[in-house]
Structure 1
């Protein structure tokens, strides 16, 4: 179908050319080469120049007249007159040569047209020849395209093989690096395992040390408590013959504290018979700076030679307080007489104050024995001893007045 269509188009084109030749149209070459176009333009310029020289314009005539007049005056007239006609002759010759060449070209074109007309006698054969030429051109183009594709495929194959080799090298390099990293990771894993083992051993050692330290701390605490108790007992044992007098004004004793206390205690307690038994080893104020007149006076520490003397003084003091139902007084000042004890023992004794207040209100007799033991006298019953302040308080609350 494609060949029939092409033949019909070719026949139509030839018929159109025939009609144009009969009418005299299309005799000139539709498309001339560049050299021929240049010669044609040059020929038209020369024709115009020749006409201008043969028939000069009005504006040019006076100039030529002036030039002819100058021939006789100017010394170079011969030369000017000889030069002026040369351009006309050269241009004419050139035009004649161009006309001859153009005639020859036209003849050649006519001969070519004649040959074409002879060839147009058998249009089917020409169509077949043209079809064959087209097929040969197509085959040549296909061959060229196939050769080009083949070359491209070969170059692509070479490039692909080279890229594959490069990629393989990269893969090998990465595999080597990965293997090295795996080796380092395994070594690091082994080191980590060793470090974990050491850490576990260290933790075990630390736990053992903690247990030992706790045990040692318990022992040290127990020993400290025992030592504190021993020190406290020793301190209180050294003070077991002492009493403390609180509330006596400063400088009331004069120059000799021992003689003043030996006379002051029997007078204050109302027991003159005690004066013979009072054997005082020493008596002095507490070691501290002397207070101002508005401040409380320093307490006085009295050490007796015998423990029994101290106990008699404390008993007489309790009897005097119970008789008057008020604390002792001297020159309008309240006076308190206590056993001289350490600060720790004093805290323990103060814990019995609530129980003592209850017993005092209900009218029961009691004594706080050394070191911190409350003894309650119950008429018609056995006396009770309490070392725990809370138990002493509960028992005192249960007693009736």
Structure 2
């Protein structure tokens, strides 16, 4: 009987312990539940914000793609407009000459009449027809010689070309003690493109290789009967290094 009583007491004790533990756990959970609820709300809020951020990033990516597309379209249009403007400006200058070396104010307020008289004097033994000047005027800053260049627009394109040809051959023309130089009136862009060949042209000149520039900015090289055309300095340098440089013995080539 005593053994049975002990077994009953053990069972009751175990049940009591389980009840106590359960109550303790429930009490602890009840105390922690508000914190769990706060965490749940925080996680929910974070998830909602994350969704908003992802949505915003997606929208921003779409806007960036659209902005990039518009930017490329504008760049293309801008290039087309710049190219068109360059062509129009070059076309408007096709009758023009740029004259350097004239003393300050020697035209005495009548640049057009003065330039027509100057050309008639300089080229009287070189050209048989009258050189008619449409208009002339000074431009740009004062040069190191104390004068500004003169822009001269000829009435005839052939006359302009003839003057340039003679000026190119003679380099310097003389008028009343002045050393006059005449060049084509090029746009800034064309001048920049031509300038890229400067160093290469020096090497070609030193090597005795026939070369020149074709309007607007194409380098032409004649080497051993072969004629080559170059639109940029890099391709010209490659040709020089591969074809001309290796043939040089001293400073002279055929």
Identify the TM-score tier after normalising by the shorter chain.
Answer: 0.7 to 0.9
From the two aligned structures, give the one with the greater strand fraction.
2
Aligned to 2:202: 357
From the two aligned structures, give the one with the greater helix fraction.
1
Please list, as runs of the form range in 1=range in 2, the aligned pairs for 1:30-69 lying within 5 A after superposition. Answer: none
Change (3 A) 1:309 1:392: farther
Aligned to 1:390: 234
Aligned to 2:97: 243
Kept in 2: contact 1:266–1:273 (CA 8 A): no
Please list, as runs of the form range in 1=range in 2, the aligned pairs for 1:221-232 lying within 5 A after superposition. Answer: 221-232=75-86
The number of residues matched between the two structures is: 222
Change (3 A) 1:176 1:202: same
Deviation at 1:297, TM superposition (A): 1.0
TM-score (norm 2): 0.73
The separation in 1 between residues aligned to 2:118 and 2:79, in whole angstroms, is 41
Q: Which runs of 5+ in 2 are unaligned?
A: 1-22, 248-252
Aligned to 1:107: none
Deviation at 1:349, TM superposition (A): 1.0
Alignment RMSD: 3.1
Of the three residues 39, 49, 54, the one matched with 1:185 is 39
Please list, as runs of the form range in 1=range in 2, the aligned pairs for 1:143-154 lying within 5 A after superposition. Answer: none
Deviation at 1:343, TM superposition (A): 1.1
Corresponding residue SS for 2:220: strand
1:370 is the counterpart of 2:218: no
Aligned to 1:336: 181
Of the three residues 115, 128, 136, the one matched with 1:283 is 136
CA deviation string 1:229-265 (max 9, x = no partner): 2111111111111110122111122342222212323
Aligned to 1:296: 146
Change (3 A) 1:384 1:263: farther
Aligned to 2:4: none
1:347 is the counterpart of 2:201: no
Deviation at 1:378, TM superposition (A): 6.0
Kept in 2: contact 1:280–1:303 (CA 8 A): yes
1:309 is the counterpart of 2:159: yes
Q: Which runs of 5+ in 1 are unaligned?
A: 1-167, 322-326
Change (3 A) 1:376 1:254: farther
Kept in 2: contact 1:244–1:301 (CA 8 A): yes
The separation in 2 between residues aligned to 1:200 and 1:357, in whole angstroms, is 61
Deviation at 1:197, TM superposition (A): 1.4
Kept in 1: contact 2:97–2:160 (CA 8 A): yes
The separation in 2 between residues aligned to 1:278 and 1:303, in whole angstroms, is 11
Aligned to 1:114: none
Larger radius of gyration: 1
The separation in 1 between residues aligned to 2:70 and 2:41, in whole angstroms, is 43
Corresponding residue SS for 2:137: strand
Kept in 1: contact 2:120–2:130 (CA 8 A): no
Corresponding residue SS for 1:276: coil
Q: Structure with the greater relative contact order (CA < 8 A, sep ≥ 6): 1 or 2?
A: 2
Please list, as runs of the form range in 1=range in 2, the aligned pairs for 1:116-195 lying within 5 A after superposition. Answer: 176-195=30-49
TM-score (norm 1): 0.48
